[in-house]
Amino acid sequence: MFKKISAIALSTGLILSAMTTPVLADKPDSPGKGNGNGNGNGGKKVENVIYMIPDGFSPDYAANYRTYKGEEAVWDRHLKGMFTTYSANADITDSAAAGTAMATGVKTNNGVVGLDTEGNELTSILDAAEEDGKSSGLVATSTITHATPASFIANVDSRNNETEIARQYIESEVDVLLGGGQNMFLPEEEGGNQEDRDLIEEAVEAGFTYTDTRDDLLDSVEDIDVNDGDRLLGLFAEAALSPELHRGETEEPSLAEMTKASIDILKEDKDGFFLMVEGSQIDWAGHANDAAWAMSDVAAFEEAVQVALEFAEEDGKTLVIVAGDHDTGGMTTGSGASSGINADVLNEVTATGAYIAAQLNEDLTNTKAIVEQYIPFGLTEEEVQFIQAADNAEIAINTVVSNHAGVGWTSTNHTGADIAIYAYGPQSEKFVGFHDNTDIPKLLAEIIKVDLGNSEE
């Protein structure tokens, strides 16, 4: 109770602003610019839910992204409210506990996926939708077995047990799985992490079509018919997919392409569908304090949201939810090292800090030459020395870039900041106000008329 009262006091001003500022209000236009459809449509039936989670994304990410983009984001006019994120055993959640809360409506301990604090298995909103006859899918730019997507299907006491999560996926009723993580499905003899099972082979036997490149994914969509029991498993990298800054150098699909492929397959189910889409690496960029990586992955996530909104506008029976699971890095809008907010300069950064740092020689004498290949401004001698003297060259490079962009950071970990929720489509007005993360799946269950059936302590 203390946490919720405290959070309400801290968030009241922001909530009141969100409720009264005209620029954020839904109004007739288009889903990207605001639409009457996004204003609720009263009790109109919802057949499909697209639940989009930008991992690590908080209001300051949203503010910096507006500067980076040069205009408002497609979700801005669909802001409905805010929610708290604490886990059962910590003020600051991890992605496993946050994902479990957002999938099941029940708090659990950090590191735990799909189990309550007593170890009991929980039913997710995806499970409940499947039980009601809907098809389902998961999309992520991490390994598809990572904590957030796992929370919608798996039940394990440790998020790190991704091989068990992969096994549970194949034995589940899910129809579409798209992301990274080939190693979590392959046996050790083929370079994977499974001891003696080839889960890709088992998936094919269970009715999945398997694809591992962008072109194969796009070609396979028309051949998948969920009404005939067809399913799709797309694993496009051994581990996670590449950061958006480097995706063009690969054969991996974009998040928007994976989202569209999933919708195109699942929409054929006459009973409707439930799709969860995660922009996974916004969080990883936050951990690295890498502002350019963060903003470029937010841009990729926005493209996926636009795909969902356009489908929802045309369909008229689809609810789109956009909500991060927690803040990562404590990003600030403006920093003491800069005279303004200049996040637009990040558009010209062409590599992650990790990629740049990996090319420095052992004594770091090539720092200036290497770093300046990937950033739009020259390094001062002071900045060169700062990078060379740092214990972590990657973080130092990212700090220099962030300072030029006017982006600050308070941490390399998660924080307890409240998170914004955006909603578009029928009954979206039910998300107006101040919530806890556990409220989201409960509201979704009410809207699509399914029973989560989870008991709370």
Look over the chain and give the mean of its residue pLDDT values, rounded to a whole number. Answer: 92
CB burial string 179-215: b at 16+ within 10 A, e below: bbbbbbbbbeeeebbbeebbbbebbeeeebbbbbebe
Q: What was the pLDDT predicted at 6?
A: 37
Query: Dihedral angle at the C-alpha atoms of 249, 251, 252, 257, nearest 10 degrees?
Result: 110
Active site residue 95: yes
CATH architecture of 334-408: Orthogonal Bundle (1.10)
Evaluate the CA torsion angle 97, 12, 65, 392 in order and state its sign.
Answer: negative
Domain boundaries, the chain: 2-331+423-448, 334-408
**Would you place residue 73 in the very low, low, confident or very high pLDDT band (cuts 50, 70, 90)?**
very high
Total number of residues shown for the chain: 457
Q: What was the pLDDT predicted at 162?
A: 98
Q: Is the pTM of this model over 0.95?
A: no
Going from the C-alpha of 165 to that of each of 117, 124, 184, 214, the distances in angstroms are 19, 15, 9, 24
Q: Which two tokens stand for residue 173?
A: 């009723």
Q: What was the pLDDT predicted at 128?
A: 98
pLDDT digits (tens, 9 = 90+) for 360-413: 999 999 999 999 999 999 999 999 999 999 999 999 999 999 999 999 999 999
**Would you place residue 456 in the very low, low, confident or very high pLDDT band (cuts 50, 70, 90)?**
low
State whether residue 328 is helix, strand or coil: strand
Give the C-alpha separation, 186 to 160, whole Å. Answer: 16
Asked if 252 and 241 count as a contact pair (C-beta separation under 8 A), the reply is: yes
Give the C-alpha separation, 135 to 207, whole Å. Answer: 14
Identify the DSSP state of 365: T
Residue 414's beta-bridge partner residues? 328
| Helical axes 59-69 vs 291-315, angle rounded to 10° | 90
Residue tagged active-site, from 11, 58, 87, 95: 95
Give the C-alpha separation, 265 to 138, whole Å. Answer: 12
Q: Sort strands 135-143 and 176-180 into parallel, antiparallel or unpaired.
A: parallel
Give the C-alpha separation, 95 to 338, whole Å. Answer: 31
Q: Report, as an integer, the average pLDDT of 330-349.
A: 89
State whether residue 54 is helix, strand or coil: strand
CB burial string 296-332: b at 16+ within 10 A, e below: bbbbbbbbbbbbbbbbbbeeeebbbbbbbbbbbbbbb
Give the C-alpha separation, 333 to 210, whole Å. Answer: 43
Q: What was the pLDDT predicted at 350?
A: 98
Asked if 348 and 375 count as a contact pair (C-beta separation under 8 A), the reply is: yes
Predicted confidence (pLDDT) at residue 338 exceeds the cutoff of 80: no
Q: Is 139 exposed, middle or buried (0-12, 13-18, 19+ CB in 10 A)?
A: buried
Asked if 78 and 72 count as a contact pair (C-beta separation under 8 A), the reply is: no
DSSP structure string for 204-268: HHTTEEEE-SHHHHHHHGGG--GGGT-EEEEE-SSSSPPPGGGGGGSSPPPHHHHHHHHHHHHTT
**Would you place residue 137 in the very low, low, confident or very high pLDDT band (cuts 50, 70, 90)?**
very high
Pick the CATH number of 2-331+423-448 from 3.40.720.10, 3.20.20.110, 3.30.70.2190, 3.90.650.10: 3.40.720.10
pLDDT digits (tens, 9 = 90+) for 9-65: 334 334 333 433 333 333 334 565 444 344 445 579 999 999 999 999 999 999 999
**Closest to 239 (Cα-Cα) out of 308, 193, 270:** 193
- Other Cβ atoms closer than 10 A to 248: 9
Give the C-alpha separation, 258 to 139, whole Å. Answer: 7
Q: What was the pLDDT predicted at 4?
A: 38
**Closest to 425 (Cα-Cα) out of 72, 89, 44, 111:** 44
Asked if 36 and 259 count as a contact pair (C-beta separation under 8 A), the reply is: no
